[in-house]
Amino acid sequence: MREEVRTGMINAGLVKIKIMAKIVFGTYVRGLLFLGANLVIVFLLIVLVNPNYLPNLPFLRQPETNSTIIRTEAVQAEVPQTQVAFIVFGDSGTGNIYQQKLAKVILKYPFKFMLHTGDLAYPSATVELLNSNFINQYDQHLKKSAFYPSPGNHDYQADNLRPYLDKFNLPRQALNAQDMERYYSFDYGNAHFVSLDTNTPLDQVSNNRADDMLDWLEFDLKTSQTKLWKIVFFHYPPYSSGNTHGEDLRVQQILVPVLEKYDIDLVFNGHEHNYERTCEIANNSCVPGGVTYVVTGGGGGDLYGFGENKFYTVNRDAKYHFVYAVIDDCQLKGNVIGIDNQLIDSWVINKCEQ
C-alpha cells in the first residue's frame, strides 16, 4: 500500500513536471516569436523612415515605377588582372538606325563593361523610353557585361532622374541621402573609375556644405591614390570645340582643378554629339602628363558640328562612334570605332616609364 502510494505520488509528480515543462517551453518559444516579430517591425519602421538604411546588395531595390532593374555587377576592389577592355559612348537614346548599327558593331569586340556619358533616352528618360531606347537596344550587351552610366540632362527631364535611379542598381556612396546613386566610383584591377553627375549635384556644390559631390569626390580620390589609372566620366564637357553646346564653364571652374590635383589620366564626356580628343591639359595649357579629355557623344543622337579649332584639339570628327579602350598594365590604348567598324582615331597613354 505504501509502495502504491509512493508510486502514485511519483507518477503525479512526473505529470506535474511534464506540464510545467510544457508551460515553460511554450512560454519561451512564444517569447522568442514575439521578440522576433517585434525586431522585424522595428526594422521595417526604420526602413520606411529612412530607405537608405538598406545595405547596398545587388538584389535590393524598391522601384517606384514599373520597370526592369538593370544591375551593375560587383567589381571587386582587388581584382588580380591588370588588363581590361571596356566600351565608352554617350548620347545614344534615340532608338534610330544609327544607334542600332553601332550597337551591333560593339558586339564584335570583347569587353568587360560599358561606360555611358549620359542621355540614355530622348527626349526624356521615362520608363517607357528607357525600355525602348536603351534596354531593347543593348539587350545582348547587358546580358554579357556590366553597365555603368552617368546621367545627362535629358535623363533629368524625366521626374528629376527618378526612372533612371529606379532602373539601375548603382553603388550607394554619396555623403547625403538625396545624391545616392547619382555619382559613384568602382575599381577594376589597377584602375579606379569615377562617374559624376554634372546636373543638379554640380549646381549644389557649396562652400557652406561638407556633404556635396565635390566633398565626396575629394574623399574618393584621396583614398584611391594606390591605383595606377584614374578615369572619370560625366556628361557636360569642360573642353569642346562643338558649335552646339561647347565648353561647360561650371565644370571648368569646379571640377577641373580637382581632376588636375589628383592626377586624373582620362576624362570621358558627352553632350556634344560628336567626337573630340584633347591634348594633355593642366593649368589651361597643353602639358605632358596632364589630363586627356575625350568627348564621345556620337552614340545615336543627331550629330553636331564644330566651330573653330581650340588650342587643345588634337582630333575631332562628327561621326557616330564608340570608344574601345584597353588597359594593359601601364599602357592604355583607345580606338574610336565608327558605325561601319572603321577606325576614326587611335591613341595611347603610356605610364610605363613614369
| Nearest C-alpha neighbor of 220 from the set 252, 186, 253 | 186
Quick one: average pLDDT of 275-300? 97
Band the pLDDT of 178: cuts 50, 70, 90.
Answer: very high
Sorted by sequence, the CB contacts under 8 Å of residue 327 that are 6+ apart come out as: 82, 83, 84, 85, 189, 190, 191, 229
* Residue indicated by cell numbers 556612396: 173
Sorted by sequence, the CB contacts under 8 Å of residue 116 that are 6+ apart come out as: 88, 89, 90, 92, 147, 148, 149, 150, 233, 299
Quick one: average pLDDT of 22-26? 48
- Mean confidence (pLDDT) of the chain: 85
Q: Is the dihedral of CA 193, 199, 200, 206 positive or negative?
A: positive
Quick one: average pLDDT of 265-288? 98
Please state, for a pLDDT cut of 70, what percent of the chain lies above it.
77
| pLDDT recorded at residue 353 | 77
Please state, for a pLDDT cut of 90, what percent of the chain lies above it.
75
Quick one: average pLDDT of 212-236? 97
Cell (9 digits) for 36: 522576433
Residue 83 has pLDDT above 60, yes or no: yes
Q: E strands, 207-354, where?
A: 229-233, 266-269, 275-282, 285-286, 291-296, 313-317, 321-328, 331-338, 343-350
- For residues 310 and 308, give the distance between their C-alpha atoms in angstroms, rounded to a whole number: 6
The residue with greater pLDDT, 216 or 3, is 216
Q: Is the dihedral of CA 129, 144, 317, 290 positive or negative?
A: positive
Question: Which residues are 341's β-sheet partners?
Answer: none
Helix (H/G/I), strand (E/B), else coil: 151: coil
Band the pLDDT of 23: cuts 50, 70, 90.
Answer: very low
DSSP 81-122: --EEEEEEE-S-TT-SHHHHHHHHHHTTS--SEEEE-S--SS
- pLDDT tens digits, residue range 37-82? 555 454 454 444 444 433 333 322 333 434 455 656 545 445 457 8
Q: How many other C-beta atoms lie within 10 A of the C-beta of residue 314?
A: 16
The burial class, CB within 10 Å (0-12 / 13-18 / 19+), for 330 is middle
Question: Which residues are 242's β-sheet partners?
Answer: 306
| pLDDT recorded at residue 26 | 54
* Residue indicated by cell numbers 560587383: 74
Query: How far apart, in Å, do the first and last CA atoms of the chain sit?
Result: 104
| pLDDT recorded at residue 80 | 56
Band the pLDDT of 327: cuts 50, 70, 90.
Answer: very high
